[in-house]
Structure 1
Amino acid sequence: MRRLFSEVDVGPLRLENRIVIAPMCQFSAADGQAGDWHLMHLGSLALSGAGLLIIESTAVLPEGRITHADLGLWDDLTETALAKVILAVRAHSRMPIGIQLSHAGRKASSGVTRQEGVIAPDDVRGWRTVAPSALPLIEGGALPEVLDLAGIDRVVAAFGDAAARATRIGLNLIELHGAHGFLMHQFLSPITNLRTDDYGGSLENRMRLTLRIFDAVKVAVPQDVAVGIRISATDWIEGGWDLDQSIELAKVLDARGCAYIHVSGGGLDPKRQTLPPLVPGYQLPFAEAIRGHVDMPVIGVGMITEPRQAEAAIAEGKADLVALGRGILYNPRWPWHAAAELGATVRAPTQYLDCAPHGLKVLFANPV
């Protein structure tokens, strides 16, 4: 049996295989609203044969966007725009679709391109950011506003509201973005969280915002919607957030009914982090370590590009699922090719059932 193409339960959600399309920012929204590009992008990926598609990082508040072109889900306009895209994709694909909800914290108000860098608050494209502590994203940059207790409550409520909107438009899964230097990660890490109140200091306090958001989202969605989280297992910075703390967070979330944990790394302060050699599967050891302490499924990432590499990650117990990002943008039919290489079955549209090149055996299941 090919483990990569075996079924798996992610909370209440049954997936046909263990290939996950990771959330990937497109920076193509207007005032947070999805448009034609999102229809083309998500429509293509929804025909790929993967087990799950997770929509890109989607801000729960306007000031929580990384850039002015980020996708959002904070009001009726953003909900309606995304609903149109989902409705069209659903007409041609049965693939479960989730969404990653986020708040960028001090990482917000950035340019769409790396050349633009951080956008000043007084720029027409920028705004004042918020964070757990008054630490700028870059040296000499604008100081974020420190979130007070009312501000924290507003963020928590916004996550719950966005999750409710996501389920109204038919999404099957909510992923909380607690990785890559976003707001939840900023509260988790002792490098960016210098608070002395109930949200800073001890590990229990630094986890408080993440757990409050998780609880609020669980309450806001029906029981048949999976709620999981993506974390950075380490800051790659001495004295920062690390694997031991990630394991403790994972255990607490597991006990609260978290459907899965998606394990990445870094992103808090790219200029300070010291990365290991970027070899295929370089972050899988974190997923494997966390997997040994929880019952919920663990999604592994980290330069997973080849079918046999992904199969080995599952078969060897390093992860329960694998997530693809850039690799599936480059090859949107990656699951088809993996099924052909591994001798497995994958779902495809009726219109494409006869597309396999002569001599290549692809076992298509029932159409999407």
Structure 2
Amino acid sequence: MNILCLGGGPAGLYFALLMKKQNPAHRITVVERNRPYDTFGWGVVFSDQTLGNLVVADEPTARAIRASFNHWDDIDVFFKGQKISSGGHGFSGIGRKHLLNILQHRCEQLGVALVFETEVTDDQELAARHGADLVIAADGLNSRIRARYADSYQPRIDQRHCRFVWLGTRKKFDAFTFAFKQTEHGWFQAHIYQYDADTSTFIVETPEPVWRASGLEDMSQDEAIAFCERLFAEQLDGHKLMSNAAHLRGSAMWIRFPRIVCGRWVHWNGAVPVVLMGDAAHSAHYSIGSGTKLALEDAIELARCLARDADMASALQAYEDARSVEVLKLQNAARNSMEWFENVERYSALAAPQFAYSMLTRSQRLSHENLRLRDPVYVADYERWYAQHAAAQAGVPAHGAPPMFTPFKVRGLTLKNRVLVSPMAQYSAVDGVAGDYHLAHLGARAMGGAALVFAEMTCVSADARITPYCPGMYAPGHTQAWKRIVDFVHQYTDAAIALQLGHAGAKGSTRAMWDGIDQPLERDNWPLISASPQQYLEGVSQLARAMTAADMDRVQDDFVRATLAADEAGFDWVELHCAHGYLLSSFISPLTNRRQDEYGGSLENRCRYPLRVFAAMRAVWPSHKPMSVRLSAHDWVEGGITPDEAVRIARLFKTAGADMIDCSSGQVSKREKPVYGRMFQTPFADRIRNEAGIGAIAVGAIYEADHVNGIIAAGRADLCAVGRPHLANPAWTLAEAARIGYKAVAWPKQYLAGKQQLERNLERERAAGN
């Protein structure tokens, strides 16, 4: 095979040497625009896992790289005058120039032709001149090839929000160091790591508005470097910062990170494929140090696919399929990390220990138990610190516990831990009455260890129901039925119980979920109302009419009456449902609110009626009892509610007296395109808690104690609502306590024999696993 590699960075060089090693008869040429052994940048970072992959692919290269590594296990975080350290992270640094030297030398050993100082202006002409069977486009972040064939590659390039500069220093650092400095204009941060015997990479980063306000845009390179030296004098300890881009004027040295995602990785020039690799195909933010890792792993995978499949098209499709999936996973983690660093201001109110924990777990790849495996002493110390602060917040004596099992106080209610049972529709009421089924369902989960059990959305009038089988709070019999359940929870468990009040709006008068979710009733339908005329399922659902002023008064009265009844029934907590396309949500979302009066238009106007209802409820709900609001923090539809707007909405409800925001998303429009995944809605809670300054409940794909511990410990939410796992196991919370080895949790006395048996079984499993 005749292979032409355009770009002599890590991707192109490593692929060339792997293919030449695979078959010495291959003719392989690497064309690079820079001089031999010339490069830009300072050091690159590998994890121990990445080095293991290199050993398998080409041991001589891996051996040469390993011999040049500067290895460290610790991460140091400097914030607000404190230094927080954790260990066991297993990373290594190497100078980018030295890495390329190793790859170039190995290519020369194997007989790869290296052509330097050659600018490729016409890849097709060059490919024809070389008689290439395969062209590799490894020409970097600013790939000309990707731009030329954009219709094939379908690139999406997002220029991010921070300005950063790559610098170096002769100061040696014995840990991967992150330093955060507050200035009058905002926060700066430095990412620092040593990569050879006497040099460290020193990346300085700050949001664009802070960069401009600090005057860096107008500084010369020398002035900007002096600014950074003054700012990070504590870390530099008298050492200077160095630039290796002396040709750039001051502002040009500060760049923005382009997040690159390509829909396809292969373009065909007739019979000759042009394949993207490395930064030309994708980018991963430097805060997780994976750009070079991805480039080398691209090379490994393409070489493997070509060796396995003689058909070029099949091999390239297999390469694209395999790498696009793996790269997207890491890019998602890199995006989380990147957004954390873009928003340091969001987390600046956290105490230094929690700030550092939040930073360590920012990508969601590193969980609480991952951290414990890496550095059990660090995690134990942090858990003690967190437990003390949680106890102080709740006003109770401190005792050691994982974050999940620390107390939390809201108004006059102290919750024993951070786990809630989500409100989950059961469609099992008769004429709005919660009966024996609800007693068994909610009673079992209240006995299962959660601190707070939510009843499903309970409707404030008969025509507010989603289905004829939904519970209500609009008749004296409803109040008494709920009181029976509340009394059981209070008598036999140490859990609290909450009522979620709502109105279905345009999503009402439908069948039970198992008979056809969101499908209208076949008979006995009732009229529907909404913020504006709408059909939830176009051409299928009943048409809801727009609410009148009289409707608004009546519905508000219904919510107030239901709130008073909730107190009469003895509920500890009330939540107002303003999410998922139901009535009050239909006012908030611009997808469903097209009103021309004072309740439509701006975000503040669209929130006016839900806030009015909330205020009326708060006025009659006892002041010592908490109230929360469930929001759809993202509509997942172009033109709908975004997380930015959700923060603004949360601030409005906070001003109105809300204690917590229950942070859900979606179900407002069937055009939604949600991005699912582990803890996929937690970032909404994170933003609302840390930007709006109101308590937040995280929901969605939270199904392990490890998830809850990480979310709570990092300050991403105050509470976690766990739904489906509690359907599968009413005692999920107790079972998770046993699974992580936490025994100081109260079980119902009738079940203590089961606790002992479960703990013994799990101890045996852990011992067998070790």
Give the TM-score of the pair, scaled to structure 2.
0.45
**C-alpha displacement of 1:154:** 1.0
Q: Which 4+ residue blocks in structure 1 deviate beyond 4 angstroms?
A: none
Q: Aligned match of 1:170 in 570, 577, 584?
A: 570
2:535 corresponds in structure 1 to 136
Query: Contact 2:534 / 2:545 at 8 angstroms: preserved in 1?
Result: no
Deviation by residue 1:47-94 (Cα, 9 ceiling, x = unmatched)? 011111111100011111100000000121211222222223332123
2:631 corresponds in structure 1 to 231
Deviation by residue 1:250-271 (Cα, 9 ceiling, x = unmatched)? 11211222111110100101x2
1:336 aligns with 2:734: yes
2:492 partner SS: coil
1:88 corresponds in structure 2 to 488
Query: Contact 2:563 / 2:574 at 8 angstroms: preserved in 1?
Result: yes
2:557 corresponds in structure 1 to 157
1:4 partner SS: helix
**C-alpha displacement of 1:142:** 2.6
Letter in 2 for 1:343: Y
Report the RMSD for the aligned CA atoms in angstroms: 1.6
**C-alpha displacement of 1:296:** 2.7
**C-alpha displacement of 1:115:** 4.2
- Within-5 A mapping of 1:1-368: 1=383, 2-113=402-513, 115-116=515-516, 117-119=518-520, 123-124=523-524, 126-140=525-539, 141-269=541-669, 271-276=670-675, 278-340=676-738, 341-343=740-742, 345-358=744-757, 360=759
1:366 corresponds in structure 2 to none
Query: Contact 2:741 / 2:759 at 8 angstroms: preserved in 1?
Result: no
Query: Contact 1:11 / 1:258 at 8 angstroms: preserved in 2?
Result: no
The separation in 1 between residues aligned to 2:488 and 2:683, in whole angstroms, is 39
The structure, 1 or 2, with the larger RCO (C-alpha pairs under 8 Å, 6+ apart) is: 1
Deviation by residue 1:224-257 (Cα, 9 ceiling, x = unmatched)? 2111111110110000111121111111211222
2:755 partner SS: coil
Aligned length in residues: 358
The separation in 2 between residues aligned to 1:358 and 1:87, in whole angstroms, is 30
Deviation by residue 1:184-203 (Cα, 9 ceiling, x = unmatched)? 11100011000001111111
1:353 partner SS: helix
Q: Which moved more, 1:10-19 or 1:37-46?
A: 10-19
Give the TM-score of the pair, scaled to structure 1.
0.93
Which consecutive unaligned segments of at least 5 residues does structure 2 have?
1-382, 384-401, 762-770
Deviation by residue 1:272-310 (Cα, 9 ceiling, x = unmatched)? 00111x211011111111111233321101100011111
Q: 1:359 to 1:253 in 2, by over 3 A?
A: closer
Q: Which moved more, 1:89-98 or 1:217-226?
A: 89-98
The separation in 2 between residues aligned to 1:56 and 1:232, in whole angstroms, is 17
The separation in 1 between residues aligned to 2:719 and 2:759, in whole angstroms, is 26
**C-alpha displacement of 1:357:** 4.6
1:44 partner SS: helix
Q: 1:342 to 1:292 in 2, by over 3 A?
A: farther
2:215 corresponds in structure 1 to none
**C-alpha displacement of 1:338:** 2.1
Q: 1:34 to 1:305 in 2, by over 3 A?
A: same
The separation in 2 between residues aligned to 1:142 and 1:47, in whole angstroms, is 40
Larger Rg: 2
Q: 1:359 to 1:348 in 2, by over 3 A?
A: closer
